[in-house]
Structure formats: C-alpha cells, structure tokens
Structure 1
C-alpha cells in the first residue's frame, strides 16, 4: 500500500504526478495530498515551486526567491509546514482513496515534511504514492522498513498501481448513488 517511483530529469516526476492526479480525480477517486507545479517565469531565474493540495483548490508556494545569483536550498519551510498541516487535517477529517505526496525528499528523510502524513495514511490503511529521487531512496526504504514498492515511472504503470491498489474502493459517483 506504499509505492514510490523514481523519474529521471528535473521536474519529470512532478509532471507525471500532476497528470496522474487529474486522471484519477476524473475517474471519481477521492485524493488527498500534494502535487508540485513548477512555475517558470523568467529563464534566468529558478522556477517557483507550488504545491497543489489535492481535494481542495488550495495552492501553497514552497519556494523562496533568494535572488538571481543565490545558490543552495530555496525551500520555504513555512510554506511546506502549512501544506503539511493542511494535508494532515484533510486526512483526519476525511477518508480519501489515496494519498499522493509530491516526493519523499530530504525533509522526509530527516523526519520532517510529509513523513508524518504518510505514516498517518498508512496506519489508516490508505494507500500512498510518492516520487523519490535516487539519493533519497535509502531513506524511504528505511522509513518503510523495506515495504515500499517501486513502480516504473510511466503514467500507465502508476495508473495501474493506483487502480489495482484502490480496486476495492468504488468510484465516488457509485458511492453517492
């Protein structure tokens, strides 16, 4: 019930998850979590990183503009904390079919970020799908005690995993009928 994928190329995993989430919601699945949308606004600067919170219309910026020549981390920890709080609250007050987290990254490897939300979902038997960079795979596997499943990073493989994992959950339209 916990799967991850490793996509090659900057932002490739973000695009795959964004498209996947839209496909799943169009099929009537109730999603919770966050997918990242990278907003390019100036070719000479790094993109803005926004998290679209699934199951709502909220968007939270998680990047700081540190200037044209800045190097290093530009994660806005306050923005990330806000997104995590909103996702954890949604998990407490709803029963989604699936939790999607944009990535299991440095923050999660260090015990922060969406790590608690992932654990909360797994404890409630809600399937979880996340992206992961190769450098964070060991941290993800340690967190999951080796129980996470790696899925090929193709849209079809990810869709197939989601549909198979959530097969016992009827689409929203059928649940409301």
Structure 2
C-alpha cells in the first residue's frame, strides 16, 4: 500500500475479529500520535450464559461504550441490532465530526450501510469536511461499498495490512523525531 492519502480507506476482511482488532490498534496508534479522532470501533465482550451477541461500540472522541445488540436472553440463537442505540452512536459521531477531527474511523460498512442507512451520511459528511475515513468492509458487502464510495476509496486487504503505512496514510502532519508522522502539530481544519 502506498502512503498516498485517500478520502476513504476500506479495510476489506473476512475475519471480523481480526478487522476489529486492526481498527482498534490503528485508533490507538493515531491517539498516541496526538490525533483527534471521531467514530466507533467494535468491542465485543462475551457475557456468561450468552451466545456471542454482545456487540458494543466504543465512541472514539469520548470513550463511551454503547451496546448495540438487543439482549434477547440466554437462549437466543441470533443477534439483533438495537437500532435506538445505533442511532445514539451515530449522533455521538456526528457531534464529534463537528469538532473537526483529523480521522474518522468506523467499525463496519455492514448490512445497514449496504442497504442505504447506518453511517453512510456521516461518511459523506466527513468526506465533505476533508476528514479521511477508515472503515472495515466485509467481502460480502464489497460490491455495495464500491457502488457507494466510487473512486474516492482505496481498498486494503486485511491479510496484506501494513499497520504503519496505513496509519501514516491517514494523517497529514509534521515529521516526528523518529522520522514518522505526528498529528499533534496539525491545526484544526488543516487536512
């Protein structure tokens, strides 16, 4: 992957656990560089007696954890999205975008986005404000992603991910003492 900066970067994956880990790791590296972030990363935490339906998002500007799956009881066999909590997460991200973050990270271009909803409007808002976007895109939604993003996006396969190159490609800033890039010196609106 080149270090050229794209408006949208899709981290394309089949392994959702690895994709979530990569997004969280990228968010932590950007935070350590002093970047102002907006968005959400997924943090699923299993609860005793539950069958893997404890989806939670960490809102990056505040650190707030938002449970986005309905608690359907210990015998539930499938997950169901809590639309109200997803809307709350979207409102928090929208408010964070108004503060001119340097990067927007979104956990997934999932079923809701593929069908025309979810975080799509916030992606458009970020692109309009020249805020680079990093989003995980499952292979099953790649055609819908491509139709939505067009030529504004580049794709990075999770299996070929170079985390340092990805991080550097998302920011514009001054050189750090170690030769890397830092966000701490970037002023509001300087993208």
TM class by smaller structure: 0.7 to 0.9
> Residue in 1 aligned with 2:156?
151
> Residue in 1 aligned with 2:4?
none
Q: How does 1:95-174 map to 2 (within 5 A)?
A: 95-153=100-158, 157-168=162-173, 171-174=182-185
> Residue in 2 aligned with 1:19?
25
Decide whether the 8 Å contact of 2:171 with 2:183 is kept in 1.
no
> Residue in 1 aligned with 2:15?
9
Q: State the distance in 2 between where 1:23 and 1:156 align.
A: 15
Cα deviation per residue 1:16-60 (whole Å; 9 max; x = unaligned)? 111211111011111110000000122652141111111112111
Instruction: State the shift of 1:71 in Å.
Output: 3.7
Q: State the distance in 2 between where 1:132 and 1:43 align.
A: 30
Instruction: State the shift of 1:172 in Å.
Output: 4.6
Decide whether the 8 Å contact of 2:172 with 2:186 is kept in 1.
no
Decide whether the 8 Å contact of 1:36 with 1:102 is kept in 2.
yes
1:52 matched to 2:63:
no
1:31 matched to 2:23:
no
Structure 1: which 5+ residue stretches go unaligned?
Answer: none
Match of 1:76 among 73, 82, 85: 82
Note the aligned Cα RMSD (angstroms).
2.2
Cα distance 1:138–1:157, how it changes in 2: closer, same or farther (>3 A)? same
> Residue in 1 aligned with 2:177?
none
What TM-score do the two structures reach when normalised by structure 1? 0.88
Cα distance 1:59–1:167, how it changes in 2: closer, same or farther (>3 A)? same
Cα distance 1:34–1:125, how it changes in 2: closer, same or farther (>3 A)? same
